[in-house]
C-alpha cells in the first residue's frame, strides 16, 4: 500500500507541476489566412488601344460579416473586342500575395467561368489553357455587341471536372463568385 500512496502522490505532483508550467501568458501569434482570395481585379484592355476598364471586388474580411465591395471603373464601348486579364490577391498578407500565379501553376485544377446575363450583349472566349488544352481562363477576350446593360459573373472553380460544358457539370468547389453590373454604350 505504501507504493500506492507514493504513486498517487507522485501523480498529483506531476499533475500540478504540469498545470503550472503550461500556464504562461505568452500570447499566441495571429494566423493570417494563406489561401484566402480577398481581391479579384479584371482588367479589360480594348484591342486597338484606349483606356482599360477594371472590374474589382474586394472582401477583406473573407467570411466575416462585412460585404464585398464591387467597383466598375467605366462602361464598355459597343462592338469592341477587349483583352481580359484576371488578377487575384490575398490582401490579408503584407505585402499582398499574388494568387494568380498559384492558380496558373495549377492550371489543371482550376477554371474560370464567365456568365453573361441574357440582357447583356456580350460574348466571351478563353485565351489561356491548362496543360491538357482545357480552358483555364485567367486570360480571355470579351466582344461587346450593341448597347445594353446586364450582369457579368466570374466564377473560379477549384478542382472542377475537366473538360466540362459549363458550370452545371463542372463540379468542384467555388473559390470566387462575383457579379458586376456592366453597361455597354
Partner 1 sequence: MRVFILLFLLISSNFIISQNCNNTITGKVLDLHDNTILVDARIVVLEINKQLLTNESGGFTISGLCNQTYTIEISHAFCLPKTYKIELISSIEKVFLLEHHLEELNEIILEGKTNNDSETSLENKITKEELEKSSSKSLGDVLNSISGISSLNTGNTIVKPVINGLHSSRVVILNDGIRLEDQDWGAEHAPNLDINAIDNITVIKGASALQYSGNAIGGIVITETAKAPVKDSIYGKTIVTAASNGRGGTTTTQLTKTYKSGWYGNIQGTIKRFGDFNAPDYNLSNTGVYERSLSVRGGINRFRSGLEASYSLYKMETGILRASHLGGAQDQIRAINNLEPLFVDDFTYNINSPKQDVEHHILKLKGFKKFEKLGKLDFKYSFQQNNRLEFDVRRGDDRDKPSLDLKLNTHTLLLDLDSKLSETANLKLGLTGQYQTNFADPSTGVRRLIPDYSEYNTGLYAILEKQINNQFIFELGARLDYTYLDALKFYRTSFWEDRGYDSTFQDIVVEEFGNQILVNPKLNFYNPSATAGISYNFKEDFKLLFNYSLASRAPNPSELFSEGLHHSASRIELGGLEFKSETAHKFSFTLQHDSDRIRFTINPYINLISDFIVIEPIEVQQTIRGNFQVWEYRQTNARLMGVDIDGEIKLNDYFKYNHQFSIIKGKDITKKDALINIPAASTRNAIAYTNKKLNNLNLRLQSEYVFRQNEFPDNNFEVFVPETETLEIVDVSTPPDAYHLLGFNSSIDYKLSKKSILTIGFGVSNIFNTNYRNYLNRLRYYANDLGRDYSINLKINY
CB of 49 to partner 1, least distance (A): 31
Contact with partner 1 (CB under 8 A) among 6, 9, 13, 15: 15
How far apart are the C-alpha atoms of 70 and 153, rounded to whole Å? 12
Residues in the chain: 185
By CB under 8 A, tell whether 21 contacts partner 1: no
Spatial contact of 41 and 87, defined as CB atoms under 8 Å apart: yes
Q: Does 125 bind partner 1 (CB under 8 A)?
A: no
Q: Which of 2, 49, 95, 118 binds partner 1 (CB under 8 A)?
A: 118
Nearest distance, CB of residue 142 and partner 1, angstroms = 16
Considering only 9, 47, 61, 98, the residue that binds partner 1 (CB under 8 A) is 61
Phi-psi bin for 34: left (phi > 0), alpha (psi -120 to 50), beta? alpha
How crowded is residue 154: how many other Cβ atoms within 10 Å of its Cβ? Answer: 22
Closest residue by Cα to residue 143 from 164, 121, 162: 121
Name the one range near partner 1 by CB under 8 A: 41-49, 53-61, 128-136, 137-145: 53-61
Q: Does 65 bind partner 1 (CB under 8 A)?
A: yes
Radius of gyration of the chain (CA): 25
The CA-based dihedral angle spanning residues 91, 40, 70, 54, taken in that order and rounded to the nearest 10 degrees:
120
The site for partner 1 (CB under 8 A) is made up of 1, 4, 7-8, 11-12, 15, 18-19, 22-23, 27-35, 37-40, 57-68, 92, 94, 99, 102-103, 105-106, 109, 115, 117-118, 151, 153, 155, 158-159, 161, 166-169, 171-179
Amino acid at each position: 500500500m505504501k507504493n500506492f500512496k507514493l504513486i498517487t502522490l507522485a501523480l498529483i505532483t506531476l499533475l500540478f507541476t504540469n498545470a503550472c508550467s503550461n500556464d504562461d501568458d505568452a500570447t499566441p501569434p495571429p494566423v493570417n489566412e494563406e489561401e484566402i482570395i480577398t481581391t479579384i481585379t479584371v482588367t479589360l484592355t480594348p484591342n486597338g488601344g484606349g483606356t482599360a476598364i477594371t472590374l474589382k471586388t474586394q472582401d477583406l474580411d473573407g467570411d466575416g460579416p462585412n460585404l464585398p465591395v464591387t467597383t466598375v471603373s467605366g462602361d464598355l464601348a459597343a462592338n469592341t473586342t477587349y483583352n481580359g486579364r484576371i488578377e487575384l490577391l490575398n490582401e490579408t498578407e503584407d505585402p499582398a500575395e499574388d494568387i494568380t500565379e498559384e492558380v496558373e501553376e495549377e492550371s489543371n485544377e482550376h477554371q474560370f467561368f464567365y456568365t453573361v446575363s441574357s440582357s447583356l450583349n456580350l460574348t466571351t472566349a478563353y485565351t489561356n489553357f491548362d496543360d491538357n488544352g482545357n480552358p483555364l481562363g485567367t486570360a480571355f477576350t470579351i466582344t461587346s455587341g450593341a448597347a445594353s446593360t446586364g450582369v457579368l459573373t466570374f466564377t473560379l472553380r477549384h478542382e472542377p471536372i475537366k473538360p466540362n460544358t459549363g458550370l452545371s457539370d463542372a463540379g468542384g468547389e467555388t473559390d470566387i463568385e462575383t457579379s458586376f453590373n456592366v453597361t455597354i454604350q
